[in-house]
Amino acid sequence: MIRHRVLRVALLCSFVLTLSFRGLCQEATIHRANPAVVPTERLGEPWWAERHKAVLEAVRNHPDAQLLLIGDSITNNYEKANPPDEDFLPTWKQFYEPRKALNLGFSGDTTANVLWRLDHGEVKGLHPKAAVLLIGTNNTSRQSDQTAEETESGIDAVVADLEERLPETKILLLGILPSDVFQSKTERDRAINRYLAVCYGEHPQVTYLDIGSIFYRNGALNTAIFYDPRLPERHLPLHPDTNGQRMMAEAIEPALAKLMGDAPRVPLTSITDINTAVIAVPRLEMDVYDWYARHHAELELQKKLKPRVVLIGDSITQFWDGPPVSGEVNGPGAWQRAFGSIPVLNLGFGWDRTQNVLWRLRQGEFEGLHPQWVVLAIGTNNLTGTSNARANTPEEIVQSIEAIYHEIRERSPESRVVVMGILPRGPKPDDILRKPIQETNRLLARRFANDPNVTYLDIGASFLTPDGSLPATLMPDGTHPSDAGYQIWAEALIKAGVGIGK
């Protein structure tokens, strides 16, 4: 059974990964048997045995269950109603009970325990629409002390088991939540999440979501939303408190609603406790081009090109020019002026928000690249909301651009980064987006103007007439530059030292 699970996962990852990343999943799953993939019971613990028995009874009594939440104590906690710090039941009743959900969370469980429970009837006879899986944090605890690779194989085995038992169920796989228990655990958990992002990025049955960013504030773990430090024993932060658990439910709600095929339990516009701009997700909006095909083209081009300059952004970047070829090119003259024949990679994607850029970077679009310059121009689409994503505040956008900057620096610390201010939008100075753009740029300047690794460029004023109007000659549709508009961008980059200026 174990050998079958591991082989199945290796074949699965080989199928879903892009060519340049296939080896990562395969290498991580071809192992000798390890504790993370050996089904293991805890029947010697009376409470665990009783809970397993109760779950089996709930499964028998609710064959119409439409949603499963599978995991450890963080999932188990939804049954608690102990205010103020552990009052999780209201969140369960709002988000999950109306969806006929079953709680398959067991405190202290590892992947091995979940595998045993699945082998012993905990999903037998069920046909849910979706299953939320959050598991792995106990694998990397001091007690279990399993490696990142062992834990990855354990999570893979659970996913493969669920696929086999519930072939029609969509799986929402969550990254391991951040904690502050000990440093090596944090490092292993981050490595596991990077692996899961690659392995399940475009999986036909699994949606991977890393919501860890919501637990950070000002670059540090926000320990105020974990209840462990306020326990009498004063443990280190591991379990979200009442507010943290609700934030988690809100963070996964858009993805879960899509998998369930129902409406979000709360309107997207009301999910303001969390910064949606930093939760990495793939394409949100349909457009005239194939988003995933462009992503794959970027990955393929990356193998052949050693760019001196990499541009990262949305349609404003995509429509400029450069490889991979876009269906619409608005600035060929300006491109030639700025870059001539030097190698440049255009990572611009129409309709992208910051959360889409984060997903693309974590899916390998910048892996192995070490350009002299990276030009980052993103954020304008975050200012507007749709049925797929709410509008973000200027503060949230700046936080997300900073997150992208850190992703770039992590992969290529020697690259010089140019952060672009958001260009003005709308023909008139009183356009509804002008003020939030100005505020976002003000905050960007405050964050990056004195960063020694960043050149911050706000060229918006160069597009405007003295009365604040935006000429159609520079932006015909009020958003995307013409070649004359791109010339302004080109000259600014040349002055900053980017490109060749031919």
Catalytic center residues: 315, 477, 480
How would you write 101-167 as a 3-class SS string?
EEEEECCCCCHHHHHHHHHCCCCCCCCCCEEEEECCCCCCCCCCCCCHHHHHHHHHHHHHHHHHHCC
Q: Which two tokens stand for residue 337?
A: 């002026």
What is the chain's percent helix, strand, coil content, to nearest 5?
45, 10, 40
Q: CA torsion sign, 215 to 221 to 222 to 223?
A: positive
- Which residues, listed in sequence order, are joined to residue 59 by a DSSP beta bridge? none
Q: How many CA atoms lie within 13 A of 490 on its CB side?
A: 22
Q: Rounded CA gap, 9 and 110, in Å?
A: 18
Torsional class of 452: left (φ above 0), alpha (ψ -120 to 50), beta (otherwise)? alpha
Q: Rounded CA gap, 494 and 188, in Å?
A: 42
The CA-based angle 422-491-355, given to 5 degrees, is 30
Q: Which two tokens stand for residue 207?
A: 């949606």
Q: Rounded CA gap, 326 and 446, in Å?
A: 34
How would you write 243-273 as a 3-class SS string?
HHHHHHHHHHHHHHHHHHCCCCCCCHHHCCC
Q: Rounded CA gap, 73 and 44, in Å?
A: 18
Residues 51, 106 contacting (CB under 8 angstroms): yes
Q: Which two tokens stand for residue 129?
A: 């629409």
- Start-to-end Cα distance in the chain: 64
Q: Rounded CA gap, 313 and 417, in Å?
A: 13
CB atoms within 10 A of CB 229: 15
3-class DSSP state for residue 86?
strand
